[in-house]
Amino acid sequence: MAEVAAILLFIFAIFIFFLLVSTIKIIKQYERGIRFTLGKYSGIMEPGLNIIIPVIHSYARVDVRIKAVDVPEQIGITKDNISVGINAVIYYKVSDASRAILEVEHFNYAVSQLAQTTMRNVVGEVELDELLSSRDRISARIREVVDEATDPWGIKVDAVELKDITLPENMKRTLAKQAEAERERRAVIIKAEGEVIAAKNMAKAAEILTTNPGALHLRTLQTLNDVASDQSNTIIFAVPLEVLRSFETFNKNFNKEADSIKPVPPAQLKE
C-alpha cells in the first residue's frame, strides 16, 4: 500500500508540475498576447509573466515589431497604355494587437495582397514619364492608400519603397533614342550659343584693332612669335593691303624721281 501511495503521489506531483507550467506564459518585450476567456476576447497580455487557466483561457501572440514585406512584381498598365513591371517593399507594424487578430485573418497575408492591388491601381493612374521621374510621390501615394485601408485592422504602414520598374525591351530602345535625341538637341543649342558669344567677342576685338592702328601689327608680330617657336614650321607672312599699297606708291614716286634726274656727261665730269 505504501508503494502504491508513493507512486500515486509522484504521478500527482508530475501532474501539478505540468499544470503549473501550462498556466505560466511569458510574453517577450516585442510581443503582445491576446487573451480569450471561453472563446471571448478578455484583454491584452503585456510583456512579462502572465497566468492563464487551462481549458478556460487561450491566447495568441502578436509581434509588434516593424516588418519588411517584399511585394512580388506586379504587371500594371500606365495611363498612357504602357505595360510595366513594378515591385516594392512595404514597412508596417501592428499598432493595435487586438484588432490585428479580431478584425482580419492572417494580417500579414492581407497586407501583402492589399499592397499588390494598390500598386497596380496607382500605376494605372499615372503616365510612364511621371512613374519614372516621381517615384517618391508614387511610393507616398501607395503608402497613403494602404495605410488608410489597414487602419481598421490595427496596422500602421510606415513606408513603401519602389525597388524596381521593369520596361519592355522595345520601350527601353525607344527611351534610349529619345534620350540621345535630347542630348543632341542640347549639344546643338550649346554650340550655337558658343558661336554667338565667340562672334560678339571677335566683333569687339575687331573694333579695338581698327581703332588702334598699331594694335593689328602687334597682334601680327605676336602670332609670328608663337608660330616661330617651332623651327619646323613654315611662316607665310600676311601683309595688309594698305601696306602693299603704300609700298606701291613709294615705288612709283621713287621711279619718277629717278627718271627726272639727268645723268652728267663724262666730259663734264672730267672738267
The pLDDT value recorded for residue 90 is 93
CATH 3.40.50.2020 fits 67-167, yes or no: no
From residue 120, give the alpha-carbon distance in Å to each of 73, 138, 210: 10, 11, 71
pLDDT at 41 over 80: yes
Checking if the pLDDT of 12 tops 80, the result is no
The three state secondary structure string of 161-226 is: EEEEEECCHHHHHHHHHHHHHHHHHHHHHHHHHHHHHHHHHHHHHHHHHHHCHHHHHHHHHHHHHH
pLDDT on residue 269: 44
pLDDT in tens, 55-80: 888 889 999 999 998 888 888 888 88
Task: Write out pLDDT tens, residues 149-177.
Answer: 999 999 999 999 988 888 878 777 877 78
pLDDT at 114: 92
95-104 confidence digits (pLDDT tens): 999 999 999 9
* pLDDT at res. 258: 59
Tell me the pLDDT tens digit for each residue of 98-144. 999 999 988 999 999 999 999 999 988 888 888 888 888 999 999 99
Domains in the chain: boundaries: 2-63, 67-167, 213-255
Q: How far apart are alpha carbons 61 and 55 in whole angstroms?
A: 17
